[in-house]
Amino acid sequence: MKPVYVAGVGIHAFGRFADRSVTALGAHAVRAALAEAGLGRGDFQAAFCGTVYSGVAAGHKVLTALGLSGVPTVNVEAGCASGGAALALGAAQVASGRYDTVLVFGMEKMPRGIIRSTFFEPWREEAGLSPAPAYFALRAQRLMMESDVRLEDLARVSAKNHRHGVQNPYAMYRKVLSVEEILSSPVVCEPLRLLMLCAPNEGAAAVVLTARQPGSRAVRVAAAALRSHHAGSVLGEHTPMSGVASATVAAPTEMAARDAYEEAGLGPADLDVVELQDTDSGREILSAEELGLCARGGGGRWVRDRGGEMGTRPPVNPSGGLLSKGEPLGASALGQVVELTWQLRGAAGPRQVEAARVALAHTVGRGANACVLILTR
Amino acid sequence: MHEPRPIAPGLFVIGPDGPRLLAARCSACGQPHFPAEAVCPYCAAPEVRAAPAGPEGRLKLFTAVLTRPPGYRGDVPYGFGVVELADGLEVITRLTEARLDRLRPGLRVRLVIEPLFTDEDGRPVLSYAFRPEEEA
């Protein structure tokens, strides 16, 4: 297998952009990543585009707009992990030697309001069995019932990520929020308050992967693992575990993390910086447990011990996470990769994690799909 | 008077001794699931047999949905939760009670089949939910 390096990254800020098409968002990120890599037409041999709501041939439209079409182009949908899945596919092509250099990008313009998803049959929507925040709420309630996670801990997670997000010019929300403000924001679905949930939004990110080492301190993709769920570990009428793994059924994040740690020959103790799925505050705590950043059932204690804060090891979501950035499904995982590439290069400015050499990116969502990427320098 | 119809086929029956969910159990691995599939979602074995479930259950998890989710045809607010049935089956379900002070983990609940909305042809559309059987 060939090593896979990051030759360039690019991002379009996450937010709401009424005057820009999803194609324009994607083109912005792709142009930036190729410019940083010093590459252009003819310099990459395939493209993988993560997106969920962008419709037919969305990635092709971006490449056409930039005069870069003609290469094999695949649009990848894997729910919240779409961008990660696109990167995993691209990395495998480079590692196998099939292609020398590939372009990976992701973009989204999310519909407003509660995310509507064809994942649910029409009758399930009609019957009221589809609201994502209600599923997140049951997951958070279960964490609170089965371990010592408290309501204040959910607020602390959001306060931490918003504190981090203040330093990120690509985030949608850049405002310090106190635990009290978060707790007193409107209840969406008990126990979750509005400021404990991320906002679906718009954005794009792009990463150029290559087998040619671009400089001696290049960022390398050390692992790219993708898993889907086993029955019993995910939301659904016949598998209503509310996303919390049982003792007998491994969650997709646990499986992907195990694969990624094995592929990289590294473990949770080696991580210097982590970007993980924080669709809601409870999801961050569960993600931390599933990735092995703290003990199973120890997530509440982890939060109260300042787990994931800047200055601890590893900091979690130094970008501000999805809680600050918002979540454009196809772009969110690659947004993490852009952030972590900057972190590993020492180019993250005021949010720089000191001497970061090993980084992990994690996304998980509908399907369920989980992606765990490990980057090293 | 228009004849009521179920929200989807294959979800529930109303028998002489009350309503039941049309669940199934795998003869190979023993896991129950709902709605019934042709093969077991846990182990892929085709030996799946009907195992109607309910009407009694215990509430495990619950919340209230306060604003109308896209596509939903019933009233808001409504309760939403996980109910464990006698044979170990857990189902995600609507709850008739949305006042959280009337719900608690372990609460005895009962399956009800009731009209949720009226369709474009004027027919009442029946869906399932669980109703508290005791005070919280």
Q: What is the DSSP letter of B41?
A: T
Distance from CA of A137 to the nearest CA of B (A): 7
Q: From B43, which residue of chain A is nearest by alpha-carbon distance? A: A231
Q: Is 90 exceeded by the pLDDT of residue A89?
A: yes
Residues of A in contact with B116 (CB under 8 A): 126-128
The DSSP H or E segment spanning A105 is strand A101-109
CATH topology of domain A5-113+196-376: Peroxisomal Thiolase; Chain A, domain 1 (3.40.47)
Give the pLDDT confidence score for residue A118 in this predicted structure. 81
Active-site residue A198, yes or no? no
Q: Judge whether A347 is closer than 8 Å to chain B, CB to CB.
A: no
Q: Is 80 exceeded by the pLDDT of residue A244?
A: no
- A interface test, pick of B21, B42, B61, B126 with most A CB neighbours within 10 Å: B61
pLDDT interval class at A247 (50, 70, 90): low
**Chain segment A188-224, per-residue pLDDT in tens:** 999 999 999 999 999 999 999 999 998 888 999 999 9
Give the pLDDT confidence score for residue A241 in this predicted structure. 40
Give the pLDDT confidence score for residue A243 in this predicted structure. 38
Q: What is the ipTM of this complex?
A: 0.96
Greater confidence (A223 vs B41) lies with A223
Whether A126 and B94 lie within 8 Å, measured CB to CB = no
The DSSP H or E segment spanning A205 is strand A202-210
Domain boundaries of chain A, sorted by first residue: 5-113+196-376
The position carrying tokens 């086993």 is A230
Which residues are CB-contacts of A97 (< 8 A; sequence separation ≥ 6)?
A: A2, A211
Q: How far is CA A245 from CA A251, A302, A307, B21, in A?
A: 5, 19, 21, 25
Whether A129 and B94 lie within 8 Å, measured CB to CB = yes
What whole-number distance in Å separates Cα of residue A209 and Cα of residue A340?
A: 15
pLDDT interval class at A249 (50, 70, 90): confident
Q: What is the mean pLDDT of residues A116-133?
A: 88
Evaluated on CA atoms B46, B18, B112, B12, the torsion sign reads: positive
Pairing of strands A358-365, A273-275: parallel
**Chain segment A29-87, per-residue pLDDT in tens:** 999 999 999 999 999 999 999 999 999 999 999 999 999 999 999 999 999 999 999 99
Q: Is 90 exceeded by the pLDDT of residue A363?
A: yes
Greater confidence (A151 vs A130) lies with A151
Give the pLDDT confidence score for residue A233 in this predicted structure. 59
pLDDT interval class at B22 (50, 70, 90): very high
Q: Is 70 exceeded by the pLDDT of residue A238?
A: no
Give the pLDDT confidence score for residue A365 in this predicted structure. 85
| Nearest-CB residue to A128 (from B42, B63, B78) | B78
What whole-number distance in Å separates Cα of residue A218 and Cα of residue A204?
A: 23
